[in-house]
Structures are given as C-alpha cells and as structure tokens.
C-alpha cells in the first residue's frame, strides 16, 4: 500500500473540495489508504489503547467473565484460537479480542463490561469513529454522484462494531501466553489472510507493525504504522457496491517482533436489511457487472459464522493442543 492522504472530516463544507477525487484515486489501487487526520481526537485514542492494555493484561479467568456470546450478538471477549480468519488453513488465529457492536444505540448490561471507565471510554471512542466514518461515507457518495447520506443512512449502527485486538509476543518462537490453549502450527501468522466484510474498516495501530496487504502479484506488503494516522480499507460490500472499483483486498497480521501488538478496528458494516447491488455511479465504464444482489445481513452473518466454525474445527482436529 503506497497511498497516503491528509483527510479533513470537514471537507463537505467546502463547495469545491478536491477530497472526493483524492480519495477516489487513493482507493482504486488496493482499497487501502493511510489517512492523516490531524484533527482527530488522538488523546482519546491513547486512552482506548491504555484501557485495552489494562484489560488484556488481566488473568484469563477474569477476561472470560466477559465472554463472547454469539455471532448474532457480536459482543465480548474471545481468546486464543476462538477465531480463524482464514478458514482454508485449518489454523486458528493467535490473538485475543474484545468486540463491541452497536454500543451507542443498544443497551448492554453493566456486568458485560470489564469496568465503568472501560465502558465510558469505548462508547465515547465508538461515537468519535462513527463521525469520521460518516464523513468518509459522504465522500464516497460524492464520488458516485449519490445523495450525500446514501451510505450514512444504511449504517445506523446495527452492525457497526468496535474491536480491540491483542496479539501476544513470543518466547522461543511460541506465543507467550499462559492461557492453557497450547501451541499453534504457524505462530508467525497471528491473523490469517482475509477480507473485511462490510463497507469499510478504520484501523488504529500501535508502533509494533505486522499488518500486511496482498498485492496483485500475490506478494505481501508491510503497512508501516505512522503517527496520527488511521488505515482505511474498503470491504466486501463496498467492492460489491462499486463493482470492484474499490476492491476488498486480502490482508493478514504477521509477527513483526517478539513484543505484543495491539490494534483497534472500527468495522462499518451496513444494517442487515440493506440491499447491496452494483451502483451505476460507482461502476467503471466498460466493466462487466460482477455481482448479484444480496443483503448486508446475509453476507456478514455468513462470514462471521465461517470464522468461528473454522476455529472450532481446528481445535477438534488438534491444531490447538
């Protein structure tokens, strides 16, 4: 990924802004772009990282108190081996996560949250990310000559999710986790190759690195973390809407150091009943239509279930001792 642009969420107030054309050019290569957002709340972002470090540093027994319930709920803690983003390998991911879907508009019981400070920080950050995402959605709508709130209106929060991801360090080539979940067949790959499910993802990284994007020739390119920047990438449903003008590109996390890695993902997935079809304003002239109509809910649920089922199958076959 070589694309990097400065993004001002207030672009829409400029009558002749060049932001839509700049974002259009940046996303066409592989759907990944590094956004430099000087006005984003980076102090709040630091607090989110601090809360995540605190939570993942707790004993496994404590973390399991807040366990993930189901793909339908999409909320809570998942430990090592609970997910396999690349179902074809038979190897589960080497990470822990805490997932929070629709936390602004949906009441989640207090006992499901690790602490009051944790909850307040995450809900505030969810809203801040939603603001940035909405500005990006309006930018993409402008690219396709669509109504300003075309994509915003399809994202009320029903499937919009904030997720904390913790990748352990290593000792002698093995994950340094006393979790009792055992060894992994490919500890150098912490999260298997996959595409994201929805319209787009915003990713905040620490300075450890490890995120890789697959290029057209099949090689893997490192995305080097940069200060005060967020990675934006388009997902499966944006590729569908745009007929691959903005591709959904495979990416993975590879071990880049012996120390642990922490990242924060904000998944912008449309409401379940949203019909997804190729939009004429985003379809490139002369390119054959590559997709058939579907709904967001069908696609997202199918992908979530597949990642959890693959991990369960790997455990049953002994990939995790």
- pLDDT of 191 reads 93
pLDDT over threshold 90, residue 251:
yes
pLDDT over threshold 50, residue 182:
no
Query: pLDDT-derived band of residue 186, with 50, 70 and 90 as boundaries?
Result: very low
pLDDT over threshold 70, residue 204:
yes
CATH classification at residue 28: 2.60.120.330
- pLDDT of 21 reads 95
Q: Tell me the average pLDDT across 220-233.
A: 94
Contact indicator for 222, 253 with CB cutoff of 8 Å: no
- pLDDT of 15 reads 62
Q: What is the DSSP string of 243-276?
A: TTSS----EEEE--SSS-EEEEEEEE---TT-EE
Q: What is the DSSP string of 167-188?
A: E--EETTEE---SS----S-TT
Query: pLDDT-derived band of residue 315, with 50, 70 and 90 as boundaries?
Result: low
- pLDDT of 165 reads 98
Query: pLDDT-derived band of residue 176, with 50, 70 and 90 as boundaries?
Result: very low
Q: Which parts of the chain fold into alpha helices (H)? A: 19-28, 42-56, 60-64, 116-143, 236-242, 296-317
Instruction: Pull the structure tokens for residue 274.
Output: 């949203």
Contact indicator for 55, 118 with CB cutoff of 8 Å: yes
Q: What is the pTM of this model?
A: 0.91
Contacts of 224 (CB under 8 A, 6+ apart): 209
Higher pLDDT: 306 or 267? It is 267
Q: Tell me the average pLDDT across 117-137.
A: 97
Query: pLDDT-derived band of residue 306, with 50, 70 and 90 as boundaries?
Result: confident
Of 309, 277, 318, 233, which is closest to residue 26 (Cα–Cα)? Answer: 233
66-94 pLDDT per residue, tens:
999 988 889 999 999 898 888 888 888 99
pLDDT over threshold 80, residue 311:
no
- pLDDT of 10 reads 86
How many other CB atoms are found less than 10 A from the CB of residue 127? 14
User: Bridge partners of 223?
Assistant: none
Contact indicator for 167, 261 with CB cutoff of 8 Å: yes
Contacts of 21 (CB under 8 A, 6+ apart): 143
Q: Tell me the average pLDDT across 186-192.
A: 80
Q: How far apart are CA 107 and CA 123, in angstroms?
A: 11
Give the three-class secondary structure for 59: coil
pLDDT over threshold 50, residue 106:
yes
Query: pLDDT-derived band of residue 314, with 50, 70 and 90 as boundaries?
Result: low
Of 230, 228, 209, which is closest to residue 220 (Cα–Cα)? Answer: 209
- pLDDT of 303 reads 85
8-46 pLDDT per residue, tens:
988 877 766 899 999 999 999 899 999 999 999 999 999
Give phi and psi for 175, each to the nearest 5.
Answer: -55, 135
Name the residue range of residue 245's domain. 4-317
Q: Tell me the average pLDDT across 183-194.
A: 72
Total domains in the chain come to: 1
Residue positions counted in the chain: 321
Average pLDDT, the chain: 89
- pLDDT of 11 reads 87
Residue position matching structure tokens 């108190």: 65
């Amino acid at each position: 990924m070589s694309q990097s642009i400065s993004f001002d969420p207030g672009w829409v107030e400029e009558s002749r802004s060049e932001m839509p054309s700049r974002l259009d050019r940046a996303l066409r290569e592989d759907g990944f772009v590094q956004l430099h957002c000087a006005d984003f709340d980076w102090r709040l972002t630091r607090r989110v990282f601090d809360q995540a470090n605190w939570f993942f540093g707790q004993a496994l027994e404590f973390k399991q108190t807040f366990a993930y319930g189901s793909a339908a709920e999409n909320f809570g803690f998942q430990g090592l081996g609970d997910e396999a983003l690349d179902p074809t390998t038979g190897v589960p991911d080497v990470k822990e996560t805490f997932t929070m879907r629709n936390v602004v508009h949906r009441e989640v019981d207090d006992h499901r949250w690790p602490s009051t400070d944790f909850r307040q920080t995450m809900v505030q950050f969810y809203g801040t990310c939603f603001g940035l995402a909405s500005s990006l959605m309006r930018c993409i709508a402008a690219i396709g000559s669509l109504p300003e709130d075309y994509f915003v209106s399809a994202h009320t929060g029903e499937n919009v999710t904030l997720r904390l991801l913790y990748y352990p360090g290593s000792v002698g080539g093995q994950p340094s986790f006393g979790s009792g979940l055992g060894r992994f067949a490919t500890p150098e790959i912490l999260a298997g190759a996959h595409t994201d499910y929805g319209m787009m993802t915003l990713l905040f990284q620490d300075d450890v690195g490890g995120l890789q994007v697959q290029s057209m020739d099949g090689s893997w390119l490192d995305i080097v973390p940069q200060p005060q920047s967020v990675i934006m990438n388009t997902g499966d449903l944006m590729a569908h809407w745009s007929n691959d003008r903005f591709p959904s590109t495979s990416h993975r996390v590879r071990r880049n150091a012996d120390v642990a890695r922490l990242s924060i993902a904000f998944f912008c997935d449309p409401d379940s009943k949203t019909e997804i079809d190729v939009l004429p304003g985003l379809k490139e002239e002369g390119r054959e239509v590559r997709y058939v109509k579907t709904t967001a809910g069908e696609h997202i649920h199918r992908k979530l279930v597949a990642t959890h089922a693959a991990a369960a199958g790997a455990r049953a076959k002994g990939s995790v001792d």
